[in-house]
Amino acid sequence: MIYDLKKPLDAKKFKTRLPALKDKVVELREVKGKRTIDQNSYLHVCITLFGIEFGYTIDEAKTLLKRECQFMVYEKNNIKFLKRTRDMDTKELSEFTAWIRTYSAIHGCYIPSATEYKISRGKIDYEIRANREFL
């Protein structure tokens, strides 16, 4: 059962249910919000624009950006791995897209904000389609 503890009725139901579970083995975990389709699309626009600017395929750009982003790299048994964006929630993905925009700007590539992308979507999508063969 999932309870949203910000809602008074759910919080009350949660507290009522607790005594019945006192002798049980239970798992308590936070349910994170999954990223939206719009958020996922915008991430790929950012990666694609970066790739176009610097001459990388989408896969190369995505791998490079993950390698350069400190919070996208983790270590296990002294071996470095890259986090998968498909496992990220809305907050983590927002942080990654913000990092990509900052990193790109530092390297001379302006990537529009999500709002700017919505306003200029046709023009930006045209640029992406025009360069698709190089990606």
Q: Mind giving me the DSSP string for 2-41?
A: ---TTSHHHHHHHHHHGGGGTTS-------PPBPPHHHHH
Averaged confidence pLDDT in the chain: 91
Examine the domain organization and report whether 45 and 81 are in the same domain. yes
Angle between helices 121-130 and 37-54 (to 10 degrees): 50
* pLDDT at res. 10: 80
Examine the domain organization and report whether 47 and 26 are in the same domain. no
Domain extent at residue 77 = 37-134
Examine the domain organization and report whether 20 and 48 are in the same domain. no
Give the pLDDT band of residue 91 (cuts 50, 70, 90): very high
Encode pLDDT of 5-46 as tens digits.
888 988 888 888 888 888 888 877 776 667 788 999 999 999
Helices (H), the chain: 8-17, 37-54, 58-68, 90-106, 114-119, 121-130
Examine the domain organization and report whether 17 and 50 are in the same domain. no
Is the sign of the CA dihedral 50, 55, 58, 63 positive or negative?
Answer: negative
Q: How many domains does the chain have?
A: 2
Examine the domain organization and report whether 53 and 77 are in the same domain. yes
Examine the domain organization and report whether 55 and 118 are in the same domain. yes
Examine the domain organization and report whether 4 and 62 are in the same domain. no
Whether the per-residue pLDDT at 96 is higher than 90: the answer is yes
